[in-house]
Amino acid sequence: MVASVFSCYPNVLLLLVLTSLTFGSLMVAFAANFNQDVDITWGDGRAKILSKGKLLSLSLDKTSGSGFQSKNEYLFGKIDMQIKLVPGNSAGTVTAYYLRSEGSSWDEIDFEFLGNLSGDPYIVHTNVYAQGKGDREQQFYLWFDPTAGFHTYSVLWNPGRIVFYADGRPIREFKNLEGFGIPYPKNQPMRVYSSLWNADDWATRGGLVKTNWTQAPFTASFRKFNANACVWSNGASSCSNSNATNNAWLSQELNSTGQKRLKWVQTNYMVYNYCTDTKRFPQGLPPECNVTTKA
């Protein structure tokens, strides 16, 4: 019966074959495999790639933490990672997920998840470095439990802006304000890094709460790493000759809905903003804090 249908309608068979090939190739292209995408860089066995490359775990004990980095360097991109943070009493621990370039005048885009006592919320610490200068911290609570399951944390980095996302909702935007003399990360390719480490000298309540090592090992889990990005290799970008349609994120910005979602997060969940910390900057706030631009 099936054979007779295809003999009467050969175009149907051709369409099914082409569709299968197309979607098959897409699945291969976007199926994250940590064995192919990252290198474990430290931890002496505390970082593990599991489930045939679909899952990666980092652990921390009193001796050491652990970490990994992407095999590729990127110059602009949309980076996604699903992370399940350390559960329970995670005070003193930091799970870091960030992009960083090499050298003494490095660029960096940071997510750092600051652990806390059981029942107290995680703090999401964000920062942007340009040419070795940071001090642009904004911190947030989350509107979900980041230890109960996997959640997606994303960075959009293009020539016009950097946007931090949690589960697709923007939480922070850092615009390119080079026209006002403010450095912006745009010339240095960056790798994606992640690590789990002890920072009980500052991470939880300014260092007042120390890591409880009886709870060790602490474990964070990662999956579905995706870099829709311009790969930098041998001094050239993979986007140079690409179809612009496939790289729409290169000119992406927050629309009116995105701006409303961003405002909702910053109104309800922001717990620290360097741009309002006049005690920290008695000589005046950083220049980007005083620039008003259109959305």
Q: Which residues are catalytic?
A: 108, 112
Run of H or E including 5: helix 2-8
Q: Residue 275: exposed, middle, or buried by beta-carbon count in 10 A (0-12, 13-18, 19+)?
A: middle
Within 13 Å and on the Cβ side, how many CA atoms surround 266? 18
Q: Is 90:60 a contact under the CB 8 Å cutoff?
A: no
Dihedral, 241, 243, 249, 254 alpha carbons, nearest 10: 130
Q: Is 42:158 a contact under the CB 8 Å cutoff?
A: no
R_g of the chain computed on alpha carbons: 22
d(CA 212, CA 209): 9
Token pair, residue 167, equals 């589960």
DSSP string, 75-130: EEEEEEEEEEPPPS--TTEEEEEEEE-SSTT--EEEEEEE--STTSPPEEEEEEEB
